[in-house]
Chains A and B, each alone.
Chain A
Amino acid sequence: MSQEVFQQLVATTTGVLLLTAILQVWGRSLVRSIGLLAVQGAALAGLAFTVGFHAGEPQASLVALIVLVMKSVVLPAALLRSARLTGETRERPAALNPAVELIGAAGLTLIAYIVGTPLVGDNPDPARQALPVGISLVLLGFWLLLIRRSAITQLIGFLVLDNGIATVSFLASSGLPLTVELGASLDVLLVVLILGVFVVRMQRQQGHSDITELKELHD
């Protein structure tokens, strides 16, 4: 893979990652959010493959395949199933209006680029140059956790956060070893499956899955 192609591929995949994360903040439809998550997963898999292949990692395609299956197929499917079971299609009305949410997202991306400067330094490596995208994904995932009320979108926010962490690790270490990626993915899968069950239970008990109602502290 030539340096130019590598640069293009990294720019494309990280661009798609950032775009899908921003679009998550914009919309309200659950199905669309889950679709965006699948696209983001595919972009992450592409990034994993690009970086790993470029670094000459022998298991790069295997890691990319695991990421693709997990983040683009299994997890979105699990979320979709939970959403179907609860019957929710749209996010509940939020405390902030969409414009403020988007401005916040833009600000966070800006912060990510500012705080990422020392990590990037004057390293010409395109993978290094794209590192702030990972940080902004983490921050945007947090942002989703903060501004969304439905339990399913909370899960989506959590997954965006996790994608951010994965992005940073791919970009910073030029491809992850198989075992590490496998372990991390299984952890996330477990969390999502458990929370999926939890969301359905919550829906059955309360008639909604709004986490702002979960305020009682029990000791």
Chain B
Amino acid sequence: MNLVDAGLYGLLGSATVAIVMAIVLTGRVRNVIAGLAVLATGVAAALTGLATLLGYSGTGLAIPVALPLVGDLDALVLAPDRLGGFFMLLAGLVIAASALFGIGYAHGPAASRTGWTGFAAFALGVVLVPAAADAITFLLAWELMALGSTVLLLAEHATRQAVRAATIWYAVMTHLSFLLLLAGFGVLINAAGGTSWARMVGIAEPTASLAFALLVAGFATKAGLVPVHVWLPRAHPEAPSHASAAMSAAMVKMGIYGILLVTLRLLPNGPSWWAVVLVALGAISALYGILQASVQSDLKRLLAYSTTENVGLITTAIGVGLLLHQSGQHAAADVALIAALLLALSHAAFKTVLFLGAGAVLHATGERDLDQLGGLASRMPITALTFGVGALGAAALPVTSGFVAEWVLLQALIHADAKTDRLLAVVMPLTMGVVALTIGLGLLTFVKAAGIGFLARPRSQAASEASEVGFSMRLALLGSAGLTIGLGLIPGPLSQLLAGAVGASGIATTGLTGLELGGLGVVVLNPLALTALTLVLLAGVLVVNGIASRRHPRREVELPWGCGGERTSPRMEYNATSYSEPLARVFGGSLHTRRSVEVEHPDDAPLLVSGIEFNQETVDLVEHRVYLPAARLAERFGDFARKLQNGSIHRYVGFSFAALLLVLVLVTR
């Protein structure tokens, strides 16, 4: 027994304990004990992943299940490789943070027996997916993850109607994903004659391309790439916040893991159109996601669309890496793949903070509409601070992991030699433009999310009466925010570890913590040194500012629009809708915003105005143009089928009679 096996036993054991405790215990005790057991599962998974990344490999934990379908195929084995280890680390950390948060946060149906059992099963599924060493184990863990998350999503179905609609969307998309994966792995298993990853090598075209298309479609559905992202903005807002955090930060990444598994491990050296497909999918998702996010005023919906954006960026980075490998620029390709992993880890860190922060706000105010929030910074300082860190990460600003990851991606794009290859000459500049635009819009989006949500004056009664959340929730927030900053300040050692996961070289640590991309010439990022320098400079500014303010004490400034009456009311503030108004206008063509202004007049004075109501809603274009027509088509088919079934006995007898005649005629033909 070595470290990896011990870790796997540990996570299996603690997940079992979590499920048993969730069933046996009741009330507050259940939250604490089951939550701690899930936390332990997450920690065990993270440690297992770390051990794998450090170069330990397990002996392969065979699952003693006699499945009839396995037959003479390979045994079910849990043996993570380095890539899987990385995703176990990522998922484990997210699960640990969400479980810790859930201890304080879960209430009502989310804290029920079903709620915690679902969460524990979901957590186990998520961390087992990257540990699987064969297709059957992978699919089993995948389904455990899907079922657990569906149960979690359904938690509040009794009290809120929207939950049911969201669950139906989620269940349908999840099943679609599973079917595609089943078909894709079926093709691979058939061609390879075995179910283990080790046997699926050297599969020839066109089988490889068919498997690639099916598997990537399935994984993209789970990852939430456009056009199969529609479940994200519905499911994430309706799930309990600790579940949304785990779903958005960990589960969605399993789609990314799948894409990497297919393109790097199972079917390496595929044709270049694979890479182009990935880049295109990713670029469209990144742009579409961030555009939609920028105009949302529902905080959790905004975060969900931002997930689509980030997953899009990661997929773009993977595609760029594959494309560069094919054109022989291995140094730049390695950097792009490292960027994909860094983006995934960074997104996991800051999206956990953001969703947990949104959960804390929801817990304290009962609101997730940004237009009803505001002024929370003074009432919920820890939440505001950590949410701010998360927003910095999401906006890819320095001292956070987001900055490092996107910096590495941009380095890969800049240093790729696009002159020699026509395909690269088209793809690289376009991708760079998309990434730049995405980063810009991301900045606006998260300035809005943090600024409107936490600064200024409260826009509602609930927001003005908010108070800071409990200890376990603050701890989870601080932990994940610390991770976001830690990755941002000390990127070197981790990147070096990650290089092993995707077989990259030329990634080194410089100084104590800095990151050096040796393959690209002298490209160095040393955030710790930069931060120290900034702090020194900032100290100078502070000193000067201090002296100046002593010389000229602060004066009260009267705002000119008070008119002598009440000076300002929260209604005069910018809110989320007005802040994103310019964006909604500039990108009106692709956002399809619906606006309506209704002016009310008093009965006797039609020229006076008694009230004005403004409504704005953004429509998901993909949903309206693709999914609703498809649903209508299905409904029409259903109507037709209903006509066949009118309840008349004669008709049913007629059906069987016609079938009998048909069979007779066919048999004698």
| Interface residues, chain A, with chain B CB atoms under 8 Å away | 111, 114-115, 117-118, 135, 139, 142-143, 145-146, 149, 154, 211-212, 214-217
Q: Are A117 and B649 closer than 8 Å at their CB atoms?
A: no
**Residues A215 and B668 in contact in the complex (CB < 8 Å), given A111-B661, A142-B657, A146-B654:** no
Q: How far, in angstroms, from A199 to B369 measured CA to CA in the complex?
A: 64
| Interface residues, chain B, with chain A CB atoms under 8 Å away | 645-650, 653-654, 656-657, 660-661, 664-665, 667-668
Given contact pairs A115-B668, A215-B648, enumerate 18 new A-B contacts (beta carbons under 8 Å).
A111-B665, A114-B668, A115-B665, A118-B667, A135-B664, A142-B653, A142-B656, A142-B660, A143-B657, A145-B650, A145-B653, A146-B654, A149-B650, A211-B649, A212-B650, A215-B646, A216-B647, A217-B647
Q: How far, in angstroms, from A135 to B648 measured CA to CA in the complex?
A: 26
Distance in Å: Cβ of B483 to nearest Cβ of chain A: 53
Residue of B nearest to A151 (CB): B649
Question: Can you name 26 A-B pairs with beta carbons within 8 Å?
Answer: A111-B661, A111-B664, A111-B665, A114-B668, A115-B665, A115-B668, A118-B667, A139-B661, A142-B653, A142-B656, A142-B657, A145-B650, A145-B653, A145-B657, A146-B653, A146-B657, A154-B649, A211-B649, A211-B650, A212-B648, A212-B649, A214-B647, A215-B646, A215-B647, A216-B647, A217-B645
Q: How far, in angstroms, from A143 to B654 measured CA to CA in the complex?
A: 9
Main SS class of interface, B: helix
Q: How far, in angstroms, from A178 to B611 measured CA to CA in the complex?
A: 92
Which A residues are in CB contact (< 8 Å) with B648? 212, 215
Q: How far, in angstroms, from A210 to B634 measured CA to CA in the complex?
A: 35
Residue of B nearest to A149 (CB): B650
Q: Are A115 and B653 closer than 8 Å at their CB atoms?
A: no
With beta carbons under 8 angstroms apart, the residue of A135, A143, A214 that contacts B649 is: A214
Distance in Å: Cβ of A209 to nearest Cβ of chain B: 12
Q: How far, in angstroms, from A114 to B668 measured CA to CA in the complex?
A: 8
Q: How far, in angstroms, from A217 to B652 measured CA to CA in the complex?
A: 12
Which A residues are in CB contact (< 8 Å) with B668? 114-115, 117-118
Q: How far, in angstroms, from A55 to B668 measured CA to CA in the complex?
A: 28
Q: How far, in angstroms, from A176 to B436 measured CA to CA in the complex?
A: 86
Residue of B nearest to A217 (CB): B647
Which A residues are in CB contact (< 8 Å) with B653? 142, 145-146
Q: How far, in angstroms, from A217 to B650 measured CA to CA in the complex?
A: 14
Which B residues are in CB contact (< 8 Å) with A217? 645, 647
Of all A-B residue pairs in the complex, the 8 with the closest CB atoms, nearest first, are A215-B647, A115-B664, A115-B668, A217-B647, A142-B657, A145-B653, A211-B649, A118-B668
Residue of A nearest to B645 (CB): A217
Residue of A nearest to B663 (CB): A115
Residue of B nearest to A142 (CB): B657
Distance in Å: Cβ of B638 to nearest Cβ of chain A: 15
Which A residues are in CB contact (< 8 Å) with B664? 111, 115, 135
Which B residues are in CB contact (< 8 Å) with A114? 668
Q: How far, in angstroms, from A142 to B664 measured CA to CA in the complex?
A: 14
Residue of B nearest to A214 (CB): B649
**Residues A146 and B650 in contact in the complex (CB < 8 Å), given A111-B661, A217-B645:** yes
Q: How far, in angstroms, from A143 to B648 measured CA to CA in the complex?
A: 16
Which A residues are in CB contact (< 8 Å) with B649? 154, 211-212, 214
Q: How far, in angstroms, from A36 to B86 measured CA to CA in the complex?
A: 82
Distance in Å: Cβ of A135 to nearest Cβ of chain B: 8
Distance in Å: Cβ of A140 to nearest Cβ of chain B: 11
Q: How far, in angstroms, from A216 to B661 measured CA to CA in the complex?
A: 28
Distance in Å: Cβ of A127 to nearest Cβ of chain B: 20
Distance in Å: Cβ of B509 to nearest Cβ of chain A: 67
Distance in Å: Cβ of A71 to nearest Cβ of chain B: 22
Which A residues are in CB contact (< 8 Å) with B646? 215
Which A residues are in CB contact (< 8 Å) with B667? 115, 118
Distance in Å: Cβ of B12 to nearest Cβ of chain A: 43
Which B residues are in CB contact (< 8 Å) with A143? 657
Which A residues are in CB contact (< 8 Å) with B665? 111, 115
Which B residues are in CB contact (< 8 Å) with A215? 646-648
Q: How far, in angstroms, from A35 to B378 measured CA to CA in the complex?
A: 97
Which B residues are in CB contact (< 8 Å) with A139? 660-661
Q: How far, in angstroms, from A46 to B471 measured CA to CA in the complex?
A: 93
Residue of A nearest to B667 (CB): A115
Q: How far, in angstroms, from A156 to B239 measured CA to CA in the complex?
A: 60
Distance in Å: Cβ of B651 to nearest Cβ of chain A: 9
Distance in Å: Cβ of A165 to nearest Cβ of chain B: 12
Distance in Å: Cβ of A25 to nearest Cβ of chain B: 14
